[in-house]
Amino acid sequence: MPMKTLLVLYSYHHKNTEAVARAFAQILGAPIVTPQEVNPAELAACDLVGFGSGIDSGRHYAPLLALADRLPTVSAKKAFIFSTCGAPAFGVTRSFILKNHSALREKLQAKGYTIVDEFGCPGWNTNKLLRFFGGLNRGRPNAEDLQRAEDSARNLEARMGDPGQSLPLDVTN
C-alpha cells in the first residue's frame, strides 16, 4: 500500500518555506494544508506528517505551534520537521536549525510523534529594517536548497518503505 503523507505548512513572509514544502510534496505525493485547514482525523490516517514554517523569534511560527498544542495524542506516528530561517546563510548550521526546531519538536514528541527527520535552509528575510537593504539571503531557498529538500524526501520515502531500516534518524549530523 502506498505511504500516506501530509504536509502542514504555514508560510507567509516570502513563501520561502512553501517552496521547500513543494519540493517535499512532489517527491512524497503529499497534499499541503495549513494549520487552520488540517483535520485531526486526516492526520490520524497518515503514515507520515511533515510540519513546517518560517522561523520567528527562534521558533516555528505561532499558528503551527498552536496546532501542535491542539493535536490529539497519537501512538507510534512518524513526523518530520522543516523550516526556512532568515539568519545569515553561513550561520544556518545543522545545530542552529535543530535549535530553531526545539519548541515544535518538543510539542510533537509530547503528543506521541516520533521525529524521523529535520530539514532547514536559509530563506529571504526582509523583516524590519532589513527591507531597506534588500534583505538577507535574497534568492534563498535556491536550486541547491530545493535539491537537498528533494534528496531528503527521497531518503525519507526509502526508509519509510523499508521496515528493516531503523527509525528515527540520527538528526545530529
Ligand X SMILES: Cc1cc2nc3c(=O)[nH]c(=O)nc-3n(C[C@H](O)[C@H](O)[C@H](O)COP(=O)(O)O)c2cc1C
Q: List interacting residues with ligand X (CB under 6 A).
A: 11-18, 54-58, 84-87, 123-125, 127
Rounded-to-10 torsion of CA 127, 125, 153, 39: 20
DSSP H or E run through 119: strand 113-122
Strand-pair partners of 31: none
Measured CA to CA, the distance from residue 100 to residue 152 in angstroms comes to 19
CB of 67 to ligand X, least distance (A): 16
Q: How far is the CB of 98 from ligand X (least distance, A)?
A: 13
Instruction: Considering the complex, state which of residue 73 and residue 128 has its C-beta at the smaller distance from ligand X.
Output: 128
CB of 101 to ligand X, least distance (A): 12
- Residue 77 or 122: the one with the smaller Cβ distance to ligand X is 122
Best CA proximity match to 74, nearest among 119, 101, 107: 107
Of the pair 56, 157, the CB lying nearest ligand X is at 56
Position with the least CB separation from ligand X: 123
Minimum CB separation of residue 103 from ligand X in Å reads 12
Q: Which stretches of the chain are DSSP H helices?
A: 16-28, 40-44, 62-70, 94-110, 143-160
Nearer to ligand X among residue 96 and residue 167 (C-beta): 96
